[in-house]
Chain A
């Protein structure tokens, strides 16, 4: 046990107190993605320092008097003057985001957790596979891939949404698609009359994606069942389980591995995750209510 009181007090008390203390950010911009999903650009209120993070990390966002929720970061990690979050209104705290206006203040703690393995992606094919709002934590990875396109071989984005109306980052996906050296495939579970693209679950897109199984990293985020089937499809195609990365979601109160809520087997999703290689969680995710 590390019971050295000097080591303990060497950490400045101010720095320690900061872990549960939100920093203030102002809403600089607010956009509607879909009927129930909003994207916010945030600017720090108390400092001119930028906000540094790694793709795949998340923040705890606090709305005055309402509470705090873990939300992944959705902006470009190389643009540190703006913090970007996409929030779906699904509960008592997130519903409060609908009322935020430009200039309003929210609290931010973070960034937390382990992000996408961008270094490991170097020199190989990269598959970005997203279901629903799972595209939000993958967007910083996409920016990284674009910013350093020459580090990678084939880059594919496979995205599934419930319906055409539920597609987030719509205009941006169209821009990505215009890029000749990126493969973008979109599918929807339920089409409407104006949709002439892919219809159905995402696994058929995974089954026919072009990649070299010996030299590919897959970054996957979406509903639990989607990630399970995507990972199984990738493994059938020869991709090793430890080259498949998934971003997981659990209840989080502290995000600093103190509160115990986010545990998944031996993992603290807030600290060991949210991005974990699939081989570390494959077995435990097969267990119901784990």
Chain B
């Protein structure tokens, strides 16, 4: 994992025409390169080999329950904002086999799943997503117990950050202090300069590993003016956020408002569909499922993503604890914005806006949080 050191002062300019060299350099170093590409009318992160597969010239229009890809007037490579997926699926797999067991007479033997973790490079990690990855590290690596699959994927993952040149309609990372500029935690970061024929990227180095790849790129010397320009781009982005999270005092207000009528009001709209938890880059709930073959001789234990919006998430003998949608929405939001801080010293929300965009009824977590501010709280 990258560390901040004096390597971060190194930078260079990569011409748009040379962007392919980044993918090539990563592939030469045995990375499986994953980057943004358009599929099913949204930007997804998937394996790419060519820059041409990326969403060149595409932007998006986002609002509560609304996402549309648009055509930009320019050829920006990273002109889109967050798509439906986060990088979570490549570190914390949506479904995986934990182990298999084989019956032997009245006994059984347990065989651990030994599939090696892939060596992956992520191109286009936004600042909010870098923060989300660091937040999931706290869950899966920094606690008493470690998730070995997550840990090995995380340890080898090469992160190419992209500083946001524009904010999406549901973005609010300025108010959660998680973007739009990546200050650390990356191996390389890119800031896109869109100037017609001078289309280029300021490449900044964030780790030794990043420096090694950067040495493989046809970089031109970057000037102080380039760096100032990169900062000006993210400052402008910061000033154009679509939403604001009222973070001051929010934790206490939520934890003191567990019986507030607002929970029922939002539950009247909430479908408990769990979309928000599936697109969230920090949600970490999982469940386990057991499978046996038809002969009953082999059994398999799988882990898959789960959601606190599922009724059986809180199942105990006799029934579920959180039977109402109001209780489940309250669990999600108070955990994300309040309990998370008790557990991990950081909020679980990085301001990416996905839960707003991908909520089928357009429930807006910033609006719900604001409802607990000021006069709204009893």
A complexed with B: yes
B285 contact set on A, CB distance < 8 A: 259-261
Q: Does B231 contact A (CB under 8 A)?
A: no
Q: Which of B101, B286, B318 contacts A254 (CB 8 A)?
A: B286
Q: Which of B259, B286, B338 contacts A287 (CB 8 A)?
A: B259
B327 contact set on A, CB distance < 8 A: 288-290
- CB-based contact B137/A253 at 8 Å: no
- CB-based contact A261/B343 at 8 Å: no
| Residue ID in chain B nearest A271 by CB atoms | B144
B288 contact set on A, CB distance < 8 A: 67-68, 253-254, 259
A290 contact set on B, CB distance < 8 A: 258, 321-322, 327, 330-331
Q: Does B194 contact A (CB under 8 A)?
A: no
Given known A266-B339, A287-B258, contact A11–B146 (CB-CB < 8 A): yes
- CB-based contact A20/B258 at 8 Å: no
Shortest beta-carbon distance from B117 to chain A in Å = 11
Q: Which of A264-290 contact B (CB under 8 A)?
A: 265-266, 268, 271, 284, 287-290
Shortest beta-carbon distance from B143 to chain A in Å = 6
Q: Does A65 contact B (CB under 8 A)?
A: yes
Taken residue by residue from 42 to 55, chain A's Cβ proximity to chain B (1 for < 8 Å, 0 otherwise) reads as 00010000000000
- CB-based contact B315/A8 at 8 Å: no
Q: Secondary structure of the B side of the interface? A: mixed
Question: Size range of the interface on B?
Answer: 35 or more
Binds B, one of A101-109, A121-129, A138-146: A101-109
- CB-based contact A1/B134 at 8 Å: yes
Q: Does B371 contact A (CB under 8 A)?
A: no
- CB-based contact B316/A250 at 8 Å: yes
**What are 20 A-B pairs with beta-carbon distances under 8 A?**
A1-B142, A3-B3, A4-B3, A5-B155, A8-B155, A11-B146, A16-B147, A21-B98, A21-B99, A22-B110, A65-B292, A94-B317, A105-B106, A250-B321, A251-B312, A256-B144, A257-B143, A258-B147, A260-B306, A266-B338
Residues of B with Cβ closer than 8 Å to A? 1-3, 98-99, 101, 103, 106-110, 112, 134, 137-148, 151-152, 154-155, 185, 255, 258-259, 284-288, 290, 292, 296, 299, 301, 303, 306, 308, 312-318, 321-324, 326-327, 330-331, 334-335, 338-339, 342-343
Contacts A3-B3, A101-B106, A253-B306 given; 15 further ones with Cβ under 8 A?
A2-B137, A5-B155, A20-B99, A21-B112, A24-B107, A104-B106, A107-B110, A251-B321, A256-B143, A257-B139, A261-B285, A263-B335, A284-B258, A288-B327, A290-B322
Residues of A with Cβ closer than 8 Å to B? 1-5, 8-9, 11, 13, 16-17, 19-22, 24, 45, 62, 64-68, 88, 90-91, 94, 101, 103-105, 107, 249-251, 253-254, 256-261, 263, 265-266, 268, 271, 284, 287-290
